[in-house]
Amino acid sequence: MPVGQLDGRGLLQTVLAALPLTAYTSIWNVLGNPAAAVPAGFTPDRLPLSVQLVGAPDSEPLLFQVAAQLERLQPWADQTPPQFS
């Protein structure tokens, strides 16, 4: 979709016009909100969990700070889910 093609449209018209893209991108990208899916630990059965963080436009530094805090509180990098056979 060319840049500016969504300019001047209301929310509903913007979402409808962006439908062909939403299969590949998050609605947050279309609306200009930064978002991140951050690992958030494991279930009791050791299946991975995540949390989606969404911020206001141009708030990427804040999202990185919150993601880092979550990782410190719920470390995951050295853990692996169970092996399935």
Distances (CA, A) of 60 to 10, 43, 48, 76: 25, 28, 24, 22
Task: Look at residue 51 and tell me if it is in a domain.
Answer: yes
Task: Look at residue 65 and tell me if it is in a domain.
Answer: yes
Task: Look at residue 1 and tell me if it is in a domain.
Answer: no
Task: Look at residue 34 and tell me if it is in a domain.
Answer: yes
Of residues 26 and 42, more confidently modeled: 42
CA angle (7, 57, 54) in 5-degree steps: 120
Task: Look at residue 4 and tell me if it is in a domain.
Answer: no
Query: pTM of the full predicted structure?
Result: 0.58
Domain that holds residue 67: 11-73
**For residues 61-71, average pLDDT:** 92
Task: Look at residue 5 and tell me if it is in a domain.
Answer: no
Q: Of the ranges 8-12, 23-27, 54-58, which one carries the lowest mean pLDDT score?
A: 23-27
Q: What pLDDT was estimated at residue 85?
A: 46
Number of domains in the chain: 1
| C-alpha span between 49 and 29 (Å, rounded) | 22
Task: Look at residue 48 and tell me if it is in a domain.
Answer: yes
Percent of the chain scored above 90 by pLDDT?
14
Is residue 8 over pLDDT 50?
A: yes
